[in-house]
Amino acid sequence: MKDMTRREFISKASRISGMSLGMFVAGSGMPLPATLRAVQVGFPEKSWEGRGSGAGRTLVAYDSKCGTTGEIAVRMGEVIAQSGAAVDVLKVQNVSDLSQYRAVIVGSAVHGGKWLSGAMEFVAYNQETLCTVPVAYFLACYTMRDPTSENRRLAMEYMQPTLEAAPSVEPVATGLFAGVVDYSRLSFLTSKILQVRGVKEGDFRDWGAIMAWAGWMHTLLGIKGGV
Ligand SMILES: Cc1cc2nc3c(=O)[nH]c(=O)nc-3n(C[C@H](O)[C@H](O)[C@H](O)COP(=O)(O)O)c2cc1C
């Protein structure tokens, strides 16, 4: 069952009125020099070799600025690997050979009202390959800390530039998750902009929802585990 095709989404999505967090922080999606952050930011990657052979590998690729979307991707990889499937969790910039994957999940943090450019470029550049395998997208954002129907609609809007960047890829599902705001991972300037805008710090991730979605993707993407 598909969540919603791109065509359906475009026709159904209405324009957002009012001011979104994307507008709040427009221009603050600037690179965050490590020297300006209070803590060292890491981007986790992990692989599971799986049991059995011939089932093909699954890729969970992500882009992130402050590291926390990578932690979501790793948790998804863990859930999928529990069945014995071979899984790689990689930052999009480190994916080298897409042809080895039979199913792909791509996710990104939302900064400035859309996926990070690395994730969008990844799907746009690889769309010929990605349209030949089942693909799912996810995002992590502040808006989904309060998953009202209006906020879900706004979060789906964040996905729109990605859908337009890779029109031949039709994701079978789109996971919309709450992320993390941690000022110690941001530059002084960015954290000040967010504070002034009333953005609250917190780890808003709903691990139950993330793991349930990953389990659902195991079925929906036809991922085969070992015996
Ligand atoms: C500069 C900046 C811009 C952001 N823009 C948005 C936004 O437009 N909408 C939103 O819902 N969340 C926004 N967020 C919240 C992030 O999506 C959230 O903190 C996410 O979990 C960060 O993931 P990361 O740690 O992988 O970078 C923004 C955060 C930062 C630091």
Span from the CA of 4 to the centroid of ligand 1 (angstroms): 24
Strand partners, 141: 178
Residue whose token pair is 């009333």: 198
Q: Which atom of ligand 1 is nearest to the CA of 178?
A: 21
Q: Which atom of ligand 1 is nearest to the CA of 143?
A: 11
CB of 69 shorter than 6 A to ligand 1: yes
- CA nearest neighbour of 133 among 141, 146, 123, 119: 123
140 lines ligand 1 (CB under 6 A): yes
Cα 21 to ligand 1 centroid, rounded to whole Å: 9
Tokens of 35: 């020297």
**Tokens at 48, concatenated:** 């599971």
- The alpha carbon of 141 and the centre of ligand 1 are apart by a number of angstroms equal to 5
Q: What is the rounded radius of gyration, in angstroms, for the C-alpha atoms of the chain? A: 17
Q: Which residue's CA is minimally distant from atom 6 of ligand 1?
A: 111
* φ/ψ of residue 177, rounded to 5: -125, 150
pLDDT in the model for residue 56: 85
Ligand 1 centroid – CA 217 distance (Å) = 24
Q: Output the pLDDT for position 54.
A: 61
Ligand 1 pocket, residue 66 CB under 6 Å: yes
Q: How far is the CA of 67 from the centre of ligand 1 (A)?
A: 11
CATH code: domain 43-220 is 3.40.50.360
Q: How far is C-alpha 78 from the geometric centre of its chain's CA atoms?
A: 16
The amino acid sitting at 134 is P
Please identify, by atom number, the ligand 1 atom nearest to the C-alpha of residue 23.
8
Please tell me if the CB atom of residue 141 comes closer than 6 angstroms to any atom of ligand 1. yes
Residue 226 is predicted with a pLDDT of: 62
Report d(CA 198, CA 128) in Å as an integer.
41
Q: Which two tokens stand for residue 182?
A: 């941690």
- Could you list the pLDDT tens digit for every one of the 227 residues in the chain? 344 343 333 233 322 322 345 544 544 444 445 445 557 789 999 999 988 666 689 999 999 999 999 999 999 999 999 999 999 999 999 999 999 999 999 999 999 999 999 999 999 999 999 999 999 999 999 999 999 999 999 999 999 999 999 999 999 999 999 999 999 999 999 999 999 999 999 999 999 999 999 999 999 998 887 65
179 pocket-lining for ligand 1 (C-beta < 6 Å) = yes
For 189-193, the CB contacts below 8 A with 24+ separation are: 189/28, 189/36, 190/25, 190/28, 190/30, 190/32, 193/24, 193/25, 193/28
Edge-to-edge strand ranges of the sheet holding 86-91: 46-48, 86-91, 57-63, 101-109, 135-141, 174-178
Query: DSSP string of 137-170?
Result: EEEEESGGGS--HHHHHHHHHHHHHHHHHSTT--
Look at residue 49 and give its three-state secondary structure. coil
Q: Which residues have CB under 8 Å from 192's CB, separation 6+? A: none
DSSP characters for 88-100? EEEEGGG---GGG
pLDDT at residue 9 in the model: 30
